[in-house]
Structure 1
Amino acid sequence: MRPKIKDVDFTVDEHIWGHRLYDEQLPHLTVLEFLTVLGSNTMSPLCIERDAPPRYQPQRQIRLRALLFNNPFVESIREREIADAEKWVLWSERFAKDAEGLGGFDLGYLRQSFGEFEHFARAIELLRSSSFEARSNKRWSSKFVFPFGPDALYEDLRIDAKGAASNDRRFFARTGEILYLMLSRSKRGPELGKKLVERLFDASLPMNKLVRALQGAPERANEPRPVGYLPHASLERFDRLCDDWLAILARDMPVYDALEHLIAITGLNLLLYFLERGKAASGDAQPVEIVCEIVSRERTKVRALSAESYVANQGYSPAAVRVAVESARLAPEWAAALASSDPKGECAAVLRSLFQWPPEDGGDDPDALNKDGDQLLAQLVEKALSRHEQHFEKIHAAWSRAIGLSSRRLSRRTRYAPNDRLLKSIVLAIVEDRMQFDEFLAEAKVRYGLVIGDVEGARLVSEKLVDQEALSDNRANLEARLAGLGLVRRLSDSCSFVENPFATGGEH
C-alpha cells in the first residue's frame, strides 16, 4: 500500500524518488538537514526503522542566528573609542530594539561568557566568516553556521513581522531527511552513524563551545516530527553512498575538512540516484553514463559529446513521470474498472489509490469525475509534468552545477566538465592509498558512471559517436590535471598511480 502523503495534490514524483528531493536544497543544505535529523537520533544513529520511521526534534537556535546574521552594528560599535562597558550597553540597546518580537532576549549571559566586548565581536566575526552563504541575500533566519558541533545545528525558519517562527520547507525541503533514510537503509548504516556521532557531536570541542557561548541554552521545536518518505527499501546506490562517507571519514584529515568532500560526494550520489531512478522508471535498464570533458587549453571533440550526454540525462525525469502515470493502464484494477458498470467512477478510484488524485469531490475541476479513464490519465500527465518542471526537473542542472560537475565555461552549452574540487573528492572516496590510473578510471565508471577515457567509452567508439583518439586525449588531460593537483605520480610513460594524500597511516 502506498502511504498517504500530506501537503501535495497528487503523488507521482514522490513514488519515483521520494518526498522529497528539491532543486533549491543544494548538497550543503542537504547535509546540514541530515545532521539535524541525526542530532535527535544519536542513541541509535542510522539504524533501520522497524515499526515506525525515525522522528526528530530539530533545534531552532534563534538567538545564535540573530547574533550572527541580524546584528549589523556590532562592528561599528567595536571600533568606537569608548569604554568597554559603554560598548556593551550601546550594543545591547541597539540589538534589543532590532530583535523586538523575537522573545525579548536576555543578553546578560553574553557579557558573562565573553567579558570584553572585543572578545564577543571576534567570536561573531569568526563564526560569520566560516558560515555557509554568509554574504548571500537570504533572510537571516535561513543562513547557517558551519556544523562545528551539536549546538551549531538548526532548522530553516521563517520569522514573521511579529516574531513568530515556523519551519520553512524552501531550503530544508526534506532532502536531508531522505538522505538520512538512504543511509539508514544501507548495509553499513549503523557503522557510519556511530562514527558521525563520535566525530561531529562532541559538545566539548572548542568551536562548539564558542557557538554555545553565543547561543546559550538550546532552543528546540515544540514537538518531534516524522521524516519524509523514501519508496525504496534498499538500493545499491544507498550502499555506495554510505561506503563513500565511511571512506572519506577514514582519511587522515580533520573532520571539518572532510565535510567539504562529504558534501561533494553526497551531491554526486544523490544526483546519480535521481538519474538512475528516472531512467529505470522510464523503462531504460542501462546504467547512467556521464561523459566528462576534461577541460584543456584546446577545444576537444569530447565537448560536444559531453553536452549531448548532459541533455540526454536531463530528459530522463520527465519521461519517468509520463511513464509512471501511463503505467496505470497496466494495473489489473484498471482493466477491471473499464469492465465495471461504472467505468468512469472506478477508473477515478484506481488513480486515487495510485496517485491520490482526483479528489473525491473533484477538487478544482468539478467535471473531473465525469471524465473517462483516458481523459483522466491525460489530465494527470499534464498536471504532473507541469508540477515536475517547477522543481524536480531542475535538480539535475542545479545539483550538477553546485558540486562542480557541469559547466558552461568556454562553451555556449552546458556539459559535464568536473572541477578540481570534485575530482579531489572522488579521489578521496575511491583511492584508499594508491591505485593504478587505469583502475581508477574503471572504478569511477562503475561507481559514478563517469566516462573519461577510451576504455570506459568503448560503447561510444563502437557506435562511432566519437573516435578513440579523442577519448585517449581526454584521459591524458585528466592525468595531467590530477598530477597538477598532486594526486598522480608517474613512474613511467605507461605507468601512473593515483595517490591519496590523506591515506591513513602515513605519507608517501
Structure 2
Amino acid sequence: MRPAIKDVDFAVDEHIWGHRLYDEQLPHMAVLEFLGILASNRISPLRPPSAGEVTYRPQRQIRLRSLLFNNPYIETIRAREVSDEDKWRQWTERFTEDCAKLENGDMSYLRNVFNTFDDFAKAVELLRSSSFEARSNKRWSSKFVFPFGPDALYEDLRIGADGAASNDRRFFARTGELLYLMLTRAENGAKLGDLLVERLFDRKAPMNRLVRALQGETQTSGSDKTVGYLPHATHPRFDRLCDDWLAILSRDMPVYDALEHLMASAGLNLLLYFLECGKAQAGDVDPVELICEIVSRERTKVRALSGESYQFNQGLSLRAIRASVESVRLTDEWTKASESDEPNAQSAALMRSWFQWPPENGSDGSVTGDTTGDMLIKSLVDMAESRHEQHFGKIHAAWSRAVGLSSRRLSRRTRYAPNDKLLKTLVISMVDDRMQFDEFLSEIRNRYGMIIGDAEGGRLMKEKLVDQEALSDNRENLEARLVGLGLVRRLSDSCSFVENPFTFEVAQ
C-alpha cells in the first residue's frame, strides 16, 4: 500500500520523484529551505528520527525581513540634514505606520544596538546588498538574506491584508525538505550533518551577530511541520550528492564561498535525480547522458547533438508519467480485478490504492457503473500529463539553466553548455589535489553523465552521430577554458592536469 499524500487530487509525480520537486524553487531556494530544517534539527542533524517522520519548526524573522525589504525610506531619512534623534524619530513613525499590522512588535531595541542612525542604515544596506534577488519584483516577505548563520534563516511567508503571516509553498515548495531526506538517507549523511552544523551555525560569527542585532528576539512558527514524502529509501544519487558536499566543505575556502558551490552541486544532483528517476520509470535502463558543447564561435556537430540530447531529456519526465499510470496493467492485482465479478469497481479500487484516484464517492464524475479500468487509466494519464506540464515538466529547463548547465548562447536552440561557474564547482567537487585531464573527463561522465570528449563519446561515434574530430575539438575547447580559469596545467602537448586551487583540506 502506497502512503497517502495530502493536498493532491491524485498522486502520480509524487510516487516517482517525491512530494515535491517544483520548478519555481530554484536550487539556491532549495538549499535555503534545507538549511532551515537542518537548523531546527541541529542537535541530531541528518539522522533519521528514531520514530515517526522528520519534523522541524521554521523561523519567521519578520522583523529582519521587514527592515531589509519593506523599508524603502531609510536611505531618504539617512540623507536628511537633521539631528540623529530626529532621524530615529522620523524613521520610527514611518516604519510603525507601514508595519502596524505585522508581528514586528516594539522596534525600540534598535536604539540600544546601534550608536547612530547612520550605523543602523549601513547595516541594513550591507545585508540587503548580500541578499538573494534583492532587486527582483518578488514580494518583500519572499526575499531572503544570505545564510550567514542560524539567525539569517527563515521560511517563505505570505502576508495577508490584515497583517497575518502564513506559510507559503511557492518558493519553499518542499524541495528543500526532499533534499534533507536525501542526505539523511545517504551513507555518510550523519558525517555531513555534523560538519554543516559546525561550519554554518556559529551564532558568534560576525555577520550572524549583525543579523541578530537587526532581528532581535527570534521569531518562530507556532507549530512543527512534517517534511514531504520521498519514495526512495536509498538511491545512488543521494550518496553522490552527499559525497560532493563533503568534498566541497573539505576545501580550503571560507564557508560562505563554499555555499555557492554547495548550491550548484545540489542543483546539478537534484536535476540528475529527476532525470534518472524518469528514465527508470519509463523502463529505460541506459544511464542519463548530457552531451555538452563547450561553447565556441563555430557551429559544430557537437552543438546539434547537445541540443538533441537536451530535447530528449526534456521529454523524459512526461514519458515517465504515462508509464507510471499504465504500469498498473502489468500487475497480478489488475488481472484479478479484470476477471472478477465486478471488474469496473475492482479496477477503480485498485487505481485508488495506487494513485489516490478516482474518489470513492465519485464526486468528480470520473466513475459510473460503465467506466472500465482502461477508461480510468486513459483519464488519469490525460490529467496527470496536464498537471505535470504545469510545474514538474518545467524542472529540467528551469534547473539546468539555473545551475549553468544549459544555454542558448550563439544558438537558437537550448543545449547543454556548462558555464565557468559550474565547471569550477565540478573541479572543486571532484579533484582532491590534481587529476589527469583525461581522467577528469572520464569522471564527469561516470558521476554526472556529461559527455565532452571522444573517449566518452564512443557510442556516438559508433552510431555515426558524430566524428572523432568534432569531439576531440570539443575536448580541446574545454581544456582551453580550464586553462583560462587557472584550473589546468599543461606539462606537455599530451599531458595536462586539472588542479584544484583549494587543495589543503580543513582539519575535521
Structure-1-length-normalised TM-score: 0.98
Corresponding residue for residue 416 of structure 1: 416
**What are structure 1's unaligned runs of at least 5 residues?**
none
Corresponding residue for residue 4 of structure 2: 4
Corresponding residue for residue 491 of structure 2: 491
Does the CA-based 8 Å contact 2:28-2:263 persist in structure 1?
Answer: yes
Corresponding residue for residue 89 of structure 2: 89
The separation in 2 between residues aligned to 1:108 and 1:90, in whole angstroms, is 13
Does the CA-based 8 Å contact 1:24-1:171 persist in structure 2?
Answer: yes
The separation in 2 between residues aligned to 1:193 and 1:130, in whole angstroms, is 25
Q: Deviations over 1:355-389 (max 9, x none)?
A: 00000111322545641100000000000000000
Offset of 1:103 from its aligned partner?
A: 3.2
Corresponding residue for residue 440 of structure 1: 440
Q: Deviations over 1:46-73 (max 9, x none)?
A: 0123431210000000110000000000
Offset of 1:340 from its aligned partner?
A: 1.2
Identity %: 69
Does the CA-based 8 Å contact 1:132-1:146 persist in structure 2?
Answer: yes
One-letter identity of the residue aligned with 2:132? F
Corresponding residue for residue 67 of structure 1: 67
Offset of 1:248 from its aligned partner?
A: 0.3
The separation in 2 between residues aligned to 1:505 and 1:3, in whole angstroms, is 43
Corresponding residue for residue 155 of structure 2: 155
Q: Which SS does the other structure have where 2:489 is aligned?
A: strand
The separation in 1 between residues aligned to 2:365 and 2:444, in whole angstroms, is 49
Does the CA-based 8 Å contact 1:288-1:449 persist in structure 2?
Answer: yes
Q: Deviations over 1:130-186 (max 9, x none)?
A: 000000000000000000000000000000110011100000000000000000000
Q: Which SS does the other structure have where 1:72 is aligned?
A: coil
Aligned residue pair count: 506
One-letter identity of the residue aligned with 1:63? R
One-letter identity of the residue aligned with 2:496? S
Report which stretch shifted further, 332-341 or 181-190. 332-341
Is 1:34 equivalent to 2:34 in the alignment?
Answer: yes
Is 1:99 equivalent to 2:99 in the alignment?
Answer: yes
Root-mean-square deviation (CA, aligned residues, Å) is 1.0
Q: Which SS does the other structure have where 2:491 is aligned?
A: strand
Counterparts of 1:143-292 in structure 2 under 5 Å? Answer: 143-292=143-292
Q: Deviations over 1:11-46 (max 9, x none)?
A: 000000000000000000000000011011111100
Offset of 1:204 from its aligned partner?
A: 0.6
Report which stretch shifted further, 312-321 or 297-306. 297-306
Q: Go from structure 1 to structure 2 and tell me whether the alpha carbon gap of 1:104 and 1:131 turns closer, same or farther (over 3 Å shift).
A: closer
One-letter identity of the residue aligned with 1:62? I
The separation in 1 between residues aligned to 2:386 and 2:357, in whole angstroms, is 15
One-letter identity of the residue aligned with 2:109? Y
Is 1:307 equivalent to 2:307 in the alignment?
Answer: yes
Corresponding residue for residue 378 of structure 1: 378
Is 1:298 equivalent to 2:307 in the alignment?
Answer: no
The separation in 2 between residues aligned to 1:385 and 1:104, in whole angstroms, is 44
One-letter identity of the residue aligned with 1:341? D
One-letter identity of the residue aligned with 1:484? G
The separation in 2 between residues aligned to 1:370 and 1:73, in whole angstroms, is 66
One-letter identity of the residue aligned with 1:37? I
The separation in 2 between residues aligned to 1:312 and 1:471, in whole angstroms, is 20
Q: Go from structure 1 to structure 2 and tell me whether the alpha carbon gap of 1:315 and 1:104 turns closer, same or farther (over 3 Å shift).
A: closer
The separation in 2 between residues aligned to 1:389 and 1:46, in whole angstroms, is 32
The separation in 1 between residues aligned to 2:420 and 2:205, in whole angstroms, is 31
Q: Go from structure 1 to structure 2 and tell me whether the alpha carbon gap of 1:455 and 1:369 turns closer, same or farther (over 3 Å shift).
A: farther
The separation in 1 between residues aligned to 2:54 and 2:463, in whole angstroms, is 48
Does the CA-based 8 Å contact 1:358-1:368 persist in structure 2?
Answer: no
Does the CA-based 8 Å contact 1:56-1:225 persist in structure 2?
Answer: yes
Does the CA-based 8 Å contact 2:62-2:103 persist in structure 1?
Answer: no
The separation in 1 between residues aligned to 2:164 and 2:138, in whole angstroms, is 18
The separation in 2 between residues aligned to 1:104 and 1:170, in whole angstroms, is 23
Offset of 1:100 from its aligned partner?
A: 2.0
Report which stretch shifted further, 104-113 or 116-125. 104-113
The separation in 1 between residues aligned to 2:366 and 2:397, in whole angstroms, is 37
Does the CA-based 8 Å contact 1:96-1:105 persist in structure 2?
Answer: no
The separation in 2 between residues aligned to 1:103 and 1:369, in whole angstroms, is 54
The separation in 2 between residues aligned to 1:172 and 1:401, in whole angstroms, is 19
The separation in 1 between residues aligned to 2:297 and 2:137, in whole angstroms, is 35
One-letter identity of the residue aligned with 2:235? L
Q: Which SS does the other structure have where 1:497 is aligned?
A: strand
Q: Which SS does the other structure have where 1:6 is aligned?
A: coil
The separation in 2 between residues aligned to 1:150 and 1:404, in whole angstroms, is 28
One-letter identity of the residue aligned with 1:409? R
The separation in 2 between residues aligned to 1:368 and 1:146, in whole angstroms, is 54
Q: Which SS does the other structure have where 2:340 is aligned?
A: coil
The separation in 2 between residues aligned to 1:359 and 1:480, in whole angstroms, is 59
Does the CA-based 8 Å contact 2:38-2:180 persist in structure 1?
Answer: yes
Q: Deviations over 1:63-107 (max 9, x none)?
A: 100000000000000000000000000000001111121035311
Structure-2-length-normalised TM-score: 0.98
The separation in 2 between residues aligned to 1:51 and 1:469, in whole angstroms, is 58
Q: Which SS does the other structure have where 2:166 is aligned?
A: strand
Offset of 1:298 from its aligned partner?
A: 2.1
Corresponding residue for residue 463 of structure 1: 463
Corresponding residue for residue 427 of structure 1: 427
Does the CA-based 8 Å contact 2:62-2:104 persist in structure 1?
Answer: no
Corresponding residue for residue 142 of structure 1: 142
Corresponding residue for residue 344 of structure 1: 344
The separation in 2 between residues aligned to 1:364 and 1:271, in whole angstroms, is 34
Q: Which SS does the other structure have where 1:123 is aligned?
A: helix
One-letter identity of the residue aligned with 2:418? P
Offset of 1:333 from its aligned partner?
A: 1.2
Q: Which SS does the other structure have where 1:425 is aligned?
A: helix
One-letter identity of the residue aligned with 1:99? C
Q: Which SS does the other structure have where 1:133 is aligned?
A: coil
The separation in 1 between residues aligned to 2:64 and 2:441, in whole angstroms, is 45
